[in-house]
Amino acid sequence: MNREPNHRLKYYLAPLEGLTTYVFRRAYHKYFGGIDKYFTPFITGRGLSSRGQNEILPEHNAGMRLVPQILTNRADEFLELAGQITDYGYDTVNLNLGCPSGTVTAKKRGAGFLEFPDELKRFLDEIYAKCPIKVSIKTRIGISDISEWERLLQVYAEFPMGELIIHPRLQREFYKGQPHRDAFRRAQESISVPLCYNGDITSHESLSTLLEELPSVDTVMIGRGILQRPYLPALFKGDIQTDSTENILPSLRAFHDELLEGYQAIMSGDLPTLHKMKDFWAFFSCGFESPEKYLKKIRKANKITDYKIAVNDLFQACPVTFSGCTGCRSCCTPKEKTPPPP
């Protein structure tokens, strides 16, 4: 397995609704970095909500290259949001065609829009004609059968997209099974837009396997792998020299504490803050050896003081684990959140 630093690849942080918020990204950028582009979790509705605004405010994203993401199937809604995003100085907006959650797809949004390629094409015709800034797309490869991918590729080939980010799974697969790497290869052969690979990169091993199978990939987007092991891109790039617990634990701790303080500063009361932190630990705990006993205490905590004791115990007792997580019930089979009401 190749563990040499990879300076050729570009690394993107995947958007994860409720998890990779601006509070997360800010703390992440301070302690780990190594990310070439950050994406906001999806923004939806008519016009920017205060949540959407907070995600994209330049002062909340200082020093980062950020791409705001929109989830909609209505061109007027997309263009209104994209117009507001443009006013904040952004030069690219991303369209979510990947969310597999039932409540989203039932409304023909996210991956649900992929079932209607002709309608999708009309939508793209309008937004590419009128959007004042570049539009990139994040997509799955179809709904229930990989044969759907060919038609979608034909549609995508018609548009001058800044970038196409592909999570090569079907909507019906959610996060199960292996990503269809052959579908990514098919995109490499058939369209000329810049491509980014996304899916299941959680360790040196998984990155090496990907690059053996798809050697010309030059950009990868990582989601759950970064929540489990936030230092992963810095490690891949060689910015961190070794992957030992002593080397990595202090920054994991400082990052965690800043995340907690960040949420405490904007949320009212212990419970909403703890809710956020517990969602984060569903992934973050997978970066530690045998965290279960401590994780249970974290999950049970209803007060910040109890939570802090449980977190201290975990940091003291559990060494960092460097092998990727495969098949756990917490981060490997996540439920994607449904969008908040507009």
Ligand X SMILES: Cc1cc2nc3c(=O)[nH]c(=O)nc-3n(C[C@H](O)[C@H](O)[C@H](O)COP(=O)(O)O)c2cc1C
278 binds ligand X (CB under 6 A): no
163 binding ligand X? (CB under 6 A): no
Q: What is residue 301's three-state secondary structure?
A: coil
Q: Can residue 96 be called a binding residue for ligand X (CB under 6 A)? A: yes
- Contact range with ligand X by CB under 6 A, out of 81-89, 204-212, 222-230, 264-272: 222-230
In sequence order, which residues have a C-beta less than 8 Å from that of residue 74 and are 6 or more positions away? 123
Candidate residues 22, 38, 41, 256; the one interacting with ligand X per rule CB under 6 A: 41
How far apart CA 117 and CA 122 sit, in angstroms, is 9
Stretch of 45-53, 78-86, 129-137, 199-207 contacting ligand X, by CB under 6 A: 199-207
**Rounded least distance, CB 269 to ligand X, Å:** 23
Q: Which stretch binds ligand X (CB under 6 A): 12-20, 55-63, 128-136, 234-242?
A: 12-20
Among 9, 12, 16, 324, which residue interacts with ligand X (rule: CB under 6 A)?
16
Amino acid at 119: E
Rounded to a whole number of angstroms, the CA Rg of the chain reads 20
* Nearest residue to 36 (alpha-carbon basis) of 57, 67, 75: 67
Q: Does 44 bind ligand X (CB under 6 A)?
A: no
Stretch that binds ligand X, among 1-9, 80-88, 96-104, 321-329 (CB under 6 A): 96-104
Give the C-alpha separation, 37 to 220, whole Å. Answer: 10
220 three-state secondary structure = strand
- Please give the structure tokens belonging to residue 315: 């940091």
Compute the distance between CA of residue 185 and CA of residue 322 in angstroms, rounded to an integer: 29
Q: Establish if 34 lies at the interface with ligand X (CB under 6 A).
A: no
**192/131 Cα distance (integer angstroms):** 21
* Residue 105 binds to ligand X (criterion: CB under 6 A): no
Positions touching ligand X (CB under 6 A) are 14-17, 19, 41-42, 69, 96, 98-99, 138, 167, 198-201, 222-225, 334, 336-337
